[in-house]
Amino acid sequence: MNPQPAPTAASEFPPGLHNAFWFAAFNALSFQIVLASPMILYAKSLGASATVLGVIAGMMPLLVIFQIPAASHINRIGYRRFVLGGWSTRVAFIFAIAFVPVLGGVLDTNNRLSLLLALLFCFNLSRGISSCAWLPWITLLVPGDLRGRYLVRDAAVQNVASFITFLVAALSLAGETRPWQFSLLFGFSALMGAVSLMFLKRIPDVPTPKEDVSKTTGVPWLAMIKHPPFFKLLRAVVGWSVAYGGITAFTVAFLKTQCGMPEGEILLLSSVSFLGGVSSLWLLGHRLDLLGSKPVLGFVCGAWLLVLTGWVLLAGKLVAVNIAFVLVLQFFMGLLAALASMASSRLAMAVVPAMGRNHFFAIYSVVANVTLGLAPIAWGLLIDLVGQRAPHWLGLEWNRYALFFTGAAVAFAVTLGLSRRLDEPKAVSMEALLHDILIQSPQRFWLRFWPRD
């Protein structure tokens, strides 16, 4: 199948959209500290179990469930005002989190962990409510034939900023870590979050459309879920969330507990995943709009099977843990996560009808994120349940982390089957995508360096 023609030159990003990229950059400098590996490492320093780590990893996506009641208020308040209110509130909670590590003279370890969980709950609650306005806002703001290009650039900006964040975190936690180092790191997160609000205010707002859904009849949630293209997307997203949920948290836990790596080294290794995310800009570029989301999702699920095989070999002690191998795995984890996020968001923008758009996006976000939130909790319970048991079979030590990585691989295999059933009429086949990426594009790239007469 031949690719579609490129978007016309008349298609341009609306004026002021560059502020969205600046917002994404400073927002990534903030949330990657509070929601990712640095927070997992701090909780681990307080003695958090795998189940508690699963709760921390799953709290943010779980609280997205509040998008369902919040979606009905977007049109009354407006997109920008709605998002700005939630983001401002969550920044305030980050400032509060920054004081927790230095309360050791007042609170013991268990109380500090409890306070941290309470503040993270409030942070994620405000984020979960306000985020329901983001996708409808961007869908109306960015022209349809440029959404893929916007998502690719947005992902690249976020990954560059996230890479910088992890370098800052690694330097901050170098050597023997002390509580005040975590406090400074969380303070940096709060400051960057405050700066991001300046650019959020400058993103052009769009008028909220009038919904035809009557308040007397209510919102037809079930009918929306059963909309065939949307339902197939939801199935694939649930499969992805089960498979991906917990991978970031438990790879960090594996490197810390099983390999004995220090916090700074783990963060440096984790930062490479964001370089993988940035490389998605080279890999896809404008191709996401041309080739479609369906083949990208299929390619991603297949590639994850290879990545998780590598983690199983490490956890099962068939392959010795070495920095180079872990770096390769981290790079492709970041690349594949970025590709999946862009492809699924773009497909949601394409299949969601105009009528009831806010509620469709709320369902999409809630289903995806609630599953993404429950998954790490379930995986954490599994890891704690297995405990120290480690039988040998097929030359592998089937310890708790080897079983986790194997379970995630099985979930990705199921998701691969679901992704091939998605509805996207203009998408090319996965074979065509692989041909374009692996044969045509590298050939054009290397021809630039070929000597000419």
pLDDT the model gives residue 216: 40
Shortest CA distance to 421 belongs to which of 224, 145, 237? 237
72, pLDDT greater than 70 = yes
- Answer for the pair 167, 271: CB distance below 8 angstroms, yes or no: yes
Domains, in order of start, for the chain: 18-205+220-447 (1.20.1250.20)
Please, which pLDDT band fits residue 207 given cuts at 50, 70 and 90? confident
DSSP 392: E
pLDDT tier, 7 (very low <50, low <70, confident <90, very high otherwise): very low
Least confident of 134-138, 241-245, 299-303, 422-426: 422-426
CB 177 within 8 A of CB 275: no
d(CA 108, CA 117): 14
Q: Is the pLDDT of residue 238 over 50?
A: yes
Summarised one tens digit per residue, pLDDT across range 311-357 is 999 999 888 888 899 999 999 998 898 888 888 888 887 777 777 77
Mean pLDDT to the nearest integer, 381-401: 86
pLDDT mean across residues, the chain = 82
Q: Dihedrals φ, ψ of 286, to 5°?
A: -85, 0
**Per-residue pLDDT at 64:** 81
Separation of alpha carbons 190 and 66, rounded Å: 23
Q: Which residues of 30-42 are buried (b: 16+ CB within 10 A; e: fewer)?
A: bbbbbbbbbbbbb
Any idea what DSSP says for residue 184? Answer: H
Task: Look up the pTM and report it.
Answer: 0.70
Burial class (CB in 10 A: 0-12, 13-18, 19+), 72: middle
Residue 298 is predicted with a pLDDT of 87
Q: CA–CA separation, 45 vs 68, rounded Å? A: 35
**Residue 377, pLDDT score:** 84
pLDDT of residue 215: 47
pLDDT of residue 452: 45
CA 114 to chain CA centroid, nearest Å: 25
Residues 6 or more apart whose CB falls under 8 angstroms from that of 331 comprise 272, 273, 275, 276, 279
8 Å CB contact between 133 and 83: yes
Residue 397, SS3 per DSSP: strand
Span 171-193, pLDDT tens digits? 888 777 788 899 999 999 999 99
* Confidence check: pLDDT of 95 > 90: yes
List the alpha helices (DSSP H) in 246-293.
Answer: 247-253, 263-283, 287-291
Q: Which token pair is 218?
A: 């209510």
Q: pLDDT: is 283 or 230 the higher one?
A: 230
